[in-house]
Structure 1
Amino acid sequence: MSVEQVNPSTGMPVVTTLAAAATYYSIAPGVSLNVRSGPGTGYPVVRTLPEGARVAIHCQTPGTRVTGPYGTTTIWDNIASGQYISDAYVNTGSDGYIRPRCS
C-alpha cells in the first residue's frame, strides 16, 4: 500500500510506502530463536526463527523471566498473532518497553 502526496516546493508527487514505516529488530547473532504461542517458556513452540532473522514487534507483554544475550527480562514481544519471543534475544536498544502493551 502507498500514499501519494505532492511536495509543495516542487509540485512533484511524493510516494510513501506504508510497509516501509514498520521498524524491524534483529535477533541476537548466532541464535535460532523459538517462537511460542504465549509470553512464557511454558507455552508450546509454534516455529523457530533462523539465525539473522529480523522481526517487527506489534506489542509487548510481561511473562516468564528469561536471561539472554541482551540481559534478563520479563518482557515478551508479540511478532504475529499468537507468536511471542523473549525480548532478551531482541536488539531493541532498550531494557524497557518500546511498544504498547498487548491487550
Structure 2
Amino acid sequence: MILISTRLLKNTKISGITLFPFILLKNRSDLHNKILVNHEKIHLRQQAELLVIFFYVWYVMEYYFLLFKLKDSFLAYKSISFEREAYAMENDLNYLETRKFWSFWKYILK
C-alpha cells in the first residue's frame, strides 16, 4: 500500500521510504513517479525475503560497517547492497517479474 506522508518526511531529503508493508511518499505527485515507486517496491520484496526484521538488522549493520569503512554517510547509504540493487534495477519496470530470490546478494561488497 502506498501512502502520502508529507509530515513524516517533511524535513528530510527522502522522497520515499519503504516500511513493510507500506511505501511512504513525500509528495502526492510521486505517485506518478514510476521509477521511485519501482525502487521502493524492490525494497518491499527484499524485506519480505528476509522476513522484515532481518532486512532491517542487515541494513543497519551494513550501513554502519560501510560508514566506518568509507567515512561518508551518503556513500555508505549508496553502497548498501539493498540500495545498490534497487538503484541498479529501478528503471526496469518489469524487474520484479523476473527477479530471483535474494538477488541483492550479488551486490554485496562489490
TM-score by length of 1: 0.24
Larger proportion of strand: 1
TM-score by length of 2: 0.23
Larger proportion of helix: 2
